[in-house]
A = this chain, B = another copy of it.
């Protein structure tokens, strides 16, 4: 038995930096989603991409820089989705929320990502805290505006409280996300959201 695991010395596949950086961010997002930020090692991300940890740190100088890039990417994607769903105004916008559950179900890794990171974002000092705070603020502002449009247009009862409805709907989404992971047998997120929105519309629309 000669050399143990010869491993075909240095089969390097060199890639343009931008493409490699994208690949790293995608992989990191996937691993963060299952093991969290602290629970994911730089080496693990690098191995999944097919390079070494030192190789990865050539693209992102520190682990925190990688986190920042992942959060930026995530924010970008999330904002696009929010915009798409909340494009219609007023009550139609609210009706459109029924589709949100399907969006969530189609991207389970995305669900894990936010759960995994939310815990590490509790201490107010962290980058993560800022990220989550910003995300909530944006989402709530969009939703509240949509409710308010409906009220102003006379489609929604004037006694409906946009702040309350917004809080509850966002809470529903976050809570269902958790159940997706922990309830045995799985929770039909899309069904739950659709039914909730149906009941919501029935309750708030002007007859």
Are B38 and A36 interface neighbours, CB within 8 A?
Answer: yes
Give the CA-CA distance A191 to B187 in the complex, in Å.
Answer: 27
User: A171 contacts the other chain (Cβ, under 8 Å)?
Assistant: yes
Contact B112 A122 (CB under 8 A): yes
Identify A122's interface contact among B116, B168, B195, CB under 8 A: B116
Contact across chains for B179 and A136 when beta carbons are under 8 A apart: yes
CB distance from A102 to the nearest CB of B (A): 16
Bound form: Cα–Cα A123–B31 in Å? 11
A168 contacts across to B, CB distance below 8 A: 172, 192, 196
A195 to B165, CA, bound (A): 10
Residues of B close to A170: CB separation below 8 A: 175, 179
- Give the docked Cα–Cα distance between A181 and B192 (Å): 25
Which of A121, A122, A140, A184 is packed against the most chain B CB atoms within 10 Å? Answer: A122
Q: Judging by beta carbons under 8 Å apart, are A182 and B117 in contact? A: no
A178 near B118 with CB under 8 A, answer yes
